[in-house]
Amino acid sequence: MKFSAEALVIREKNIGESDRLLTLLTKEQGIIKAFASGVKNYKSKKSAGTSLLSFSSFLLEEKGDTYRVREVSPIRVFFGAGDNIKKLALSQYFCELALVLAPMDTESAEFLRLILNSLHFLSAGDKNINLLKAVTELKIIALSGYSPELVSCEGCGCFESDMMYFNLSDGSLWCDKCKTGGNLRPISKTELSAMRHILFSPFDKIYNFSVPDECAAALTKLTEDYLVTQTEHKFATLDFYNSIPED
């Protein structure tokens, strides 16, 4: 059975001389794997369309429990040669986030939309990259069912106080008076309102805010630690990203 799908290549593995095994993030079916043969000619559409970070229109054929790429036409290829290494590393981390957190064989429109938007803003270059990282981390962890509870203090229900704390283990929020033990991190008012914005805004607004650069760095440390605590996953691309100094 043949069908078409628009998909982002989130992992590629070369097989032999001219074939690739692709991991694709699709809107209708979430993550699927597909073989692409004959991608050796690096000038061919098939080569460009099946590279990591390509968003392409695929004609796929289902054969047994595998998919084969029959035709592919690139729609947009993110980060060609010559781009900034820090941004390239972050885009690879976005792919790994999707790989670990997006479902298989299940509708995943919001995951795809999130990753495509983040890649778009990252390559456009007009937003702080720590902010883009924070938005992507917090939104994807919320889409995966681990949304933190940031409406108000877990103890007394207050909306904000001078000092609040975020529990990395269960995503709960505590004020200074109510806080008990646990894996608590202080969270500033700016960080809290940024996280509320990302979680509670309609999708097309989640990138529309700004914070001072030093706050963006603290914010993404918080979203990163929350995501890693919740998933208990070691993201190799994140370690690589963090090893590259900012320019």
Binding site for Zn ion (CB under 5 A): 153, 155-156, 175, 178
Q: C-alpha distances in angstroms, 36 versus 21, 58, 173, 220?
A: 6, 10, 47, 36
Question: In sequence order, what are the residues at sequence separation of 6 or more whose Cβ sits closer than 8 angstroms to the Cβ of residue 244?
Answer: 85, 86, 89
> Least Å distance between CB 184 and Zn ion?
13
Cβ proximity to Zn ion: between 90 and 175 the closer is 175
Cβ proximity to Zn ion: between 110 and 160 the closer is 160
DSSP 205: G
Cβ contact 143:110 at 8 Å = yes
Among 165, 229, 221, 167, smallest CA distance to 192 is for 165
Cβ proximity to Zn ion: between 63 and 177 the closer is 177
> Least Å distance between CB 146 and Zn ion?
23
Cβ contact 227:135 at 8 Å = no
Cβ proximity to Zn ion: between 39 and 173 the closer is 173
Cβ proximity to Zn ion: between 157 and 212 the closer is 157
Q: What CA–CA distance (Å, rounded) separates 94 from 26?
A: 15
> Least Å distance between CB 226 and Zn ion?
20
Name the 3-class secondary structure at 19.
strand
> Least Å distance between CB 190 and Zn ion?
19
Q: What CA–CA distance (Å, rounded) separates 24 from 60?
A: 11
> Least Å distance between CB 159 and Zn ion?
10
Cβ contact 136:114 at 8 Å = yes
Name the 3-class secondary structure at 6.
strand
> Least Å distance between CB 180 and Zn ion?
10
Cβ proximity to Zn ion: between 12 and 154 the closer is 154
